[in-house]
Structure 1
Amino acid sequence: MNILVINSGSSSLKYQLFKMPNQSPICSGLVERIGIDGSYIKHTVFSNGEKLVTEKSGSIADHGEALKQVLAMLSGGEKPVIASPEDIAAVGHRVVHGGEHFSGPTLITDEVKAQIKKLFSLAPLHNPVNLKCIEVAEQTFKNAVQVAVFDTAFHQTIPAEAFRYAIPDKYYKEDGIRVYGFHGTSHKYVSEQAIMWLDKKESKIISIHLGNGCSMTAIKNGQSIDTSMGFGPLSGLVMGTRSGDIDPSVIFHLIEHAGYSLSQLSTLFNKESGLLGVGGSSDMRDIRKLVAEGNDDAILALELYAYRIKKFIGAYTAVMNGVDAIIFTAGVGENDMAMRESACRELDYLGIELDNDANAQYNGGIMDVSSRNSKVRILVIPTNEEYEIASQCYGLLN
């Protein structure tokens, strides 16, 4: 069964084609810097132990245009992987916010799309592009089953003391205001990999997903018990364009004394803050270049970013009464060794000690980068949300 997985982030789009139940993809690809100068596509076909890589750069204005170009690559180029759209049996879509309506993989219907649209305001950087990709895929693969896998599903095990806000009860019961959590597909996948690596089902793990969007999750015995993102994917860590945690009094002040509208505030905190607002770019690689040039704003942006990670490591260690392993994953977590070092610095009181040489040598796969004396394992684990989505789709359809 050919299952195409589409994982659209706020400024990126990843995809993989699987012939399930095989875990190895037929092809994979990445579109980066969507809506940002320097957009590009990297498309890789796997055949007989070899990789055929095609790269293409150029302006890509939005996710709809990105997906159209990706779909053209699947059936064209030097080694097409499908002869026609009918070769695809199912398309699995990552959808960020499912509210309390969806706790597992879901066949996409008009009603499901309407619910995804209702939640636009709670995930303004993601749900709109998720729905756009669904609509483009429906038109392209008309005979394929469309399936949604929600980021919020893994966090349905969070207990009430962690998911409830200290506001009157009616706002939860009538309006569903609570912590939902996000990046659940990624946290689920890497934590399961860590549990197998540790050979310890009864484990305490902190998963750190660092990309343009960032979140951390406390995972006890394989279940999410707390997570840094909340009602929407704005809270918690400093991110590419999102502020992370901020005192609500700032919002009141900007409304009352600066005349901000709710729309302006949403744009400010979701699209103009984080690394972009402090350091001048939403891309960590750009921030690193600015730091190398001695840019003070970029230096501060990195300090804020790392500091917030350390705060949550401490908090989640307390919540779980200890920690067996911490995991770094996703674009920044896997590729920025300096951020891993900054986030783990001066945490020896928790038994967290990094091996700087091992950290610098990381080049893929699951790797322990903690020192020999570290009581806590520090793991770098590449996330594979696409396979996790394909696996859930395959299970649903079977």
Structure 2
Amino acid sequence: MAPVILVLNSGSSSIKFNLYAGTRTELSGQVSGLGATPRLSLKSHVAALSIDRELAADVGRSHRDALTALLPLLEAALKGRHVDAVGHRVVHGGTRHTQPVRIDAEILDELKKLEPLAPLHQPHNIAGILAAQDAFPEAVQTACFDTAFHRKHPWVNDTFALPRSYYEEGVRRYGFHGLSYEYICDYLKRTDKDAYSGKVIVAHLGNGASMCAIRNGQSVGSTMGFTALDGLPMGTRCGQLDPGVVLYLLTTKGMSPDEVSDLLYTNSGLKGLSGISQDMRELSQSSEPRAKEAIDYFVFRIRRELGAMAAVLSGLDTFVFTGGIGENAANIRSRVCADQDWLGMALDESKNDENQIDISTDDSRINVLVIPTNEEEMIRRHTERLM
């Protein structure tokens, strides 16, 4: 019988879930608005069932409460079967973890110690693990890390120009979105071995955004660094920032560390620049000058990092768009690829408007692709392997 695997992606205010029987997705959805106005959205992929409704406030007080509320729906979908394993997305695996692992008490203690390196994500990933251990005590629990894909970076990409002792204690560039990049590499390996073995840049563009330089399926450069704040501007995160700005905020402005953290993580990026929204769809439809300027900056930074990553690779063969914005915003893709003939890149606007997989012209030296990512599927595969 095919193993039943539940994949959980626990965020600060949501739990996304996918229920698999073997390779087939049977149920997917999320509980959003935890701690505020909880809402359940759910879709069955094997039956005529779709749910989108608000939940009682006490149901959405915590990840444990939300998962408890989901149990009757999961049990109904299981039809007498039991969950064999639960796979968790965990943002930070530190320096040690280069592969997914089965979770035990020792691993859980390690993950808790990494909370300061990913304060926006790691505590909620751990809350999801604890909730799942309560709900499914007999199931194998696995941690699949966003940092693992980047752990074989060249040293020059990992380090900062600080005294060496900081590097040794773990102050280094980790890179994130690794599960997404791993999925894209696996897709290329199955569909285009020449592209997989060549020089590839993947732009994961969404509420979280980063870019990765990949050679022969191996990460050799990433825009994200010590935390998920660095690199590209994001929905609410600032991206690249002169560290002197942080010193200025602390000393001259008198802000506390918590206030600075809140500013950089939740009130910057597209939201901060526009003063309107972090949603690219809303900004693209807005006539406000600040909305246009926020998009202009977003595109500028992607183009800048594209050149930098091409330099890291000493050339470029394939450029991939993925993530919510990368997969759906044809206008952003068009602007990123405009006037890139110096790089050998030419976009076919009609293919781009139709969201085709290959959106480059027939004579473009660089393949420009749009590949939907699937981090949940990567977690499922890793979890099944670890069972």
What is the TM-score when the length of structure 1 is the normalising length? 0.89
Distance 1:34 1:210, change over 3 A: farther
| Alignment partners' CA distance in 2, 1:68 and 1:124 | 25
C-alpha distance 270-375 of structure 1, shift in aligned 2 (>3 A): same
> Are the counterparts in 1 of residues 89 and 379 from structure 2 also a CA contact under 8 Å?
yes
SS of the residue 1:18 aligns to = strand
Aligned match of 1:297 in 277, 285, 290? 290
Number of residue pairs aligned between Structure 1 and Structure 2: 380
Name the structure 1 match of 2:282.
286
- Pick from 338, 349, 355 the counterpart of residue 356 of structure 1: 349
Q: Structure 1: which 5+ residue stretches go unaligned? A: none
Alpha-carbon distance in 2 for matches of 1:277, 1:34: 23
Distance in 1 (CA, whole Å) between partners of 2:240 and 2:73 is: 40
Give the secondary structure class of the aligned counterpart of 2:106.
helix
Cα distance, 1:194 vs. partner? 2.3
Determine which of 262, 267, 272 is the counterpart of 1:277.
272
Q: 1:10 touches 1:212 (CA, 8 Å); kept in 2?
A: no
Establish whether residue 46 from structure 1 lines up as the match of residue 40 from structure 2: no
Q: Which residue of structure 2 lines up, in the alignment, with residue 137 of structure 1?
A: 132
Q: Residues 61 and 246 from structure 1, CA distance in 2 versus in 1: closer, same or farther, beyond 3 angstroms?
A: farther
Q: Say yes or no: does 1:328 pair with 2:318.
A: no
| AA at the equivalent of 1:151 | D
Write the mapping of 1:1-398 to structure 2, written as runs, cut at 5 A.
Answer: 1-9=3-11, 13-20=15-22, 22=23, 24-31=24-31, 40-47=39-46, 52-57=49-54, 63=63, 66-75=66-75, 80-83=76-79, 87-173=82-168, 175-200=169-194, 201-279=196-274, 280-289=276-285, 291=286, 294-362=287-355, 367-397=357-387
Measured in 2, the distance between the counterparts of 1:36 and 1:333 equals 30
Q: CA deviation at 1:56?
A: 2.8
The answer to whether the 8 Å contact 2:171/2:226 transfers is: yes
CA distance in 1, matches of 2:28, 2:147: 24
In 2: Cα distance, 1:288 partner to 1:180 partner: 32
After TM superposition, give the deviation of residue 232 of structure 1 in Å. 1.0
Q: Is the 8 A contact 1:6 1:94 kept in 2?
A: yes
> Cα 1:285–1:70, aligned 2, differ >3 Å: closer, same or farther?
farther
**1:43 alignment partner, SS class:** strand
d(CA) in 1 for partners of 2:36 and 2:188? 34
The one-letter amino acid paired with 1:144 is A
Determine the C-alpha separation between the residues in 2 that align with 1:335 and 1:10. 24
Distance 1:396 1:211, change over 3 A: same
Tell me which moved more, 238-247 or 4-13. Answer: 4-13
Offset of residue 11 of structure 1? 5.6
Q: AA paired with 1:304?
A: Y
Against the structure 1 CA distance between its residues 339 and 145, is the aligned structure 2 distance closer, same or farther, given a 3 Å change threshold? same
| Cα distance change of structure 1 residues 244 and 224 upon mapping to structure 2, 3 Å threshold | same
Matches of 1:13 and 1:369, distance apart in 2? 34
Distance 1:216 1:64, change over 3 A: farther
Alpha-carbon shift at residue 68 of structure 1 (Å): 4.3
The whole-number CA distance in structure 1 between the counterparts of 2:367 and 2:32 is 31
Deviations 1:351-379 (Å, cap 9, x if unpaired)? 1222111111127xxx1111222211111
What is the SS of the residue equivalent to 1:368? coil
Distance 2:145 2:268 in 1: 25
Cα distance in 2 for residues equivalent to 1:54 and 1:196: 35
Question: Any idea what the Cα deviations from partners look like across 1:12-71, whole Å, max 9, x if unmatched?
Answer: 543212223x3x31222245566788x754322222xx7643333568676555544444
5+ residue gaps, structure 2: none
How many Å separate the matches in 2 of 1:104 and 1:228? 21
Identity within the alignment, %: 39
Say if 2:67 and 2:135, in contact at 8 Å, map to a contact too: no
Relative to structure 1, the CA distance from residue 10 to residue 191 in structure 2 (aligned partners, 3 Å threshold; closer, same or farther) is farther
Amino acid in structure 1 at the alignment position of 2:114: L
2:376 maps to amino acid: E
Change (3 A) 1:242 1:362: same
Greater mean alpha carbon deviation, residues 51-60 or residues 1-10 = 51-60
SS at match of 1:341: helix
